[in-house]
Amino acid sequence: MTFGPFDVAPNQEISDQCVQITLHNDTALFINQVELTTGPGFHHSNWFFVPAEDPAKGVVGAFPGPDGQFTCADRSFDQAIAAFKGGVLFAQSTQSSHDLQAFPTGAAIKIPAGSKLVTTIHLLNATDKTLHLTPTITLTPIAESAVVTRLSGVSFEDHALGIPPSSKSRFQLDCDLMPAWQNLYDFGNVASPVPDFKIYYALAHYHSLGTGMTIEGLRADNTATTIFTTANRAGDGLGSTIDPLFDMSGYSRIRFSCDYTNSTSATVGWGIGSNEMCVLLAFSDSPYFWAGGAIDENAQAGTPVDVDGVPTYTHPCKVYTVDATR
């Protein structure tokens, strides 16, 4: 599916636009693979599926309006609401012109019948020439009879960034899943008293100062096992399939950290442009979508602790769950 086109002027940055693509699917789709090809200047995009409007059936849909490009605020588009109303489908690696999100055989994300795709787009042209972009996104479905495992999203963000100048640093969140899991268990929504899902895929999101991400599973005694790690930089692929799959059985927390090298003379906070981000996206076979992080608007970096010579900032993590089987 082609969307756009987009013309981005020299040194122009566009961060307030969204795109909608109605799938016109009369039956559910089970997506095993997503491929995005954008070209240079397409900084980032986050893709969701939500209900499409169907006037004949009286269905209003989510963020109603025609297909194509629109200003996100005009439809009150919000990523958290999109995840709640539908689900997470895909996230592009920072500044990568081609991304492939591929799951193991038999694993798929279910997109319900009557859905549409909605994505935020962040365009950034750092060249002195106008860019003409005609991106494509390709969804590869498998038959429902071939589905062995349904996947749902895991997404955590650390907004409490204050990356110190002229130094290396690390920002990390320690996300305890047990309180939310205990609630699910108490109400009979999960059979196991402790997390027992597996993680299939993970992707990091940071900007030009980012030098890597590490995701770990932590046991009650604080012993840690690496789930995923990357030292790739913006412009490279920042996601991969977890092989072998990581089994959360015996682990009650997820800790993830973003590493930065800030060679500038300014402290860098959360945001777009010359600011930074620290975001984890993963997919698991949990029947629940897991999300949260340090997401308060006034989140502060705080005081670091020296860990092997690197100032390390650790922040509390809020954890939310949404039923992904609805």
Q: How confident is the model at residue 18 (pLDDT cuts 50, 70, 90)?
A: very high
245 dihedral zone (left: phi>0; alpha: psi -120 to 50; beta): beta
pLDDT at residue number 181: 96
The DSSP output letter for 55 is G
Q: Whose structure tokens read 């062995």? A: 148
pLDDT above 80: residue 326:
no
CATH of the structural domain 151-323, one choice from 1.10.3720.10, 2.60.120.230, 3.40.190.10, 1.10.260.40: 2.60.120.230
Which of 135, 130, 152, 116 minimizes the C-alpha distance to 20? Answer: 116
The DSSP output letter for 23 is -
For residue range 211-267, list pLDDT tens digits in order: 999 999 999 999 999 999 999 987 788 889 999 999 999 999 999 999 999 999 999
pLDDT at residue number 120: 93
For 41-45, 145-149, 319-323, which range has the lowest pLDDT when averaged over its residues? 41-45
pLDDT at residue number 43: 84
pLDDT above 80: residue 127:
yes
Q: How confident is the model at residue 298 (pLDDT cuts 50, 70, 90)?
A: confident
Mention the CATH class of domain 6-149.
mainly beta
Using alpha carbons, list the distances in angstroms from residue 98 to 105, 140, 211, 288, 326.
22, 16, 20, 29, 32
Q: Give the residue-averaged pLDDT of 117-125.
A: 93
244 dihedral zone (left: phi>0; alpha: psi -120 to 50; beta): beta
Using alpha carbons, list the distances in angstroms from residue 186 to 39, 42, 183, 202.
49, 45, 5, 29
pLDDT at residue number 325: 78
Q: Give the residue-averaged pLDDT of 161-189.
A: 96
pLDDT above 80: residue 273:
no
Contacts of 277 (CB under 8 A, 6+ apart): 157, 161, 205, 206, 207, 270, 271
Tokens (6 digits) for 83: 């995840």
Give the SS3 label for residue 146: helix
For residue range 65-86, list pLDDT tens digits in order: 999 999 999 999 998 899 889 9
CB contact at 8 A, 116 and 50 = yes
At residue 166, what are phi and psi to the nearest 5 degrees? 55, 40
With b for 16 or more beta-carbon neighbours within 10 A and e for fewer, the 266-280 pattern comes to: eebbbeeeeebbbbb
Q: How confident is the model at residue 179 (pLDDT cuts 50, 70, 90)?
A: very high
CA distance 122 to 271: 12
For residue range 146-168, list pLDDT tens digits in order: 999 999 999 999 999 999 999 99
Q: How confident is the model at residue 96 (pLDDT cuts 50, 70, 90)?
A: confident
Burial class (CB in 10 A: 0-12, 13-18, 19+), 39: middle
Q: Give the residue-averaged pLDDT of 118-140.
A: 93
CA distance 258 to 323: 28
Q: Give the residue-averaged pLDDT of 177-199.
A: 95
**Domain spans of the chain?**
6-149, 151-323
Task: Say yes or no: do domains 6-149 and 151-323 share a fold.
Answer: yes
Tell me what the pLDDT averaged over the chain comes to.
93
pTM of the model: 0.91
